[in-house]
Amino acid sequence: MLSNVEAPVLTIRACELHDVDAVTSLMHEVRYPATPGVMRERIQMSQTSEKACMLVAEVDKVVVGLLGLQCIQSHASRNQATQITSLIVRHSHRGAGIGRRLLELAESWAREHGSEKLLIIEGNRDEHKSSYPFYEHIGFIKHGYRFSKSL
């Protein structure tokens, strides 16, 4: 006789203020120096702006992923783009398709908000290089380098 087997349930939803500790922890996992106060501000901004979005991925009601999006207008292009400001999946849940599902939602959100391009600006930090094959596998193309200057 076969027994019942329950599979984990993945839910992707809008990030809410009660998620602040979970998303701060995710940011720390990829070495971003975020504080709960800063993440609270970003969540609130995403809740009130038509040009920004934050989503969380939950497995069995535990936050394991984060996606941040923002519409941008560049002088280099007449068309609006959507920038992925954060895409994080907890190390323990990578390889399960969560990042791919988040990016599918990013593409839909970007189209719905008038963007014709989805951008990820990674820089050359060593801890990010392991994500490059994932982005390329799902259709992203690397263009040049990013320059920045602290003020």
On average, the pLDDT of the chain sits at 86
pLDDT above 70: residue 1: no
CATH classification (class only), 10-137: alpha beta
pTM for this model (two decimals): 0.83
pLDDT digits (tens, 9 = 90+) for 80-91: 899 999 999 999
* pLDDT at position 102: 96
pLDDT digits (tens, 9 = 90+) for 62-111: 999 999 999 998 777 778 899 999 999 999 999 999 999 999 999 999 99
Is the Cβ–Cβ distance between 135 and 120 less than 8 Å?
A: yes
Instruction: Give the C-alpha separation, 78 to 104, whole Å.
Output: 24
Give the C-alpha distances (Å, rounded to integers) separating 149 from 119, 126, 146.
20, 19, 10
* pLDDT at position 145: 63
Q: Pick the residue with more confidence: 39 or 121?
A: 39
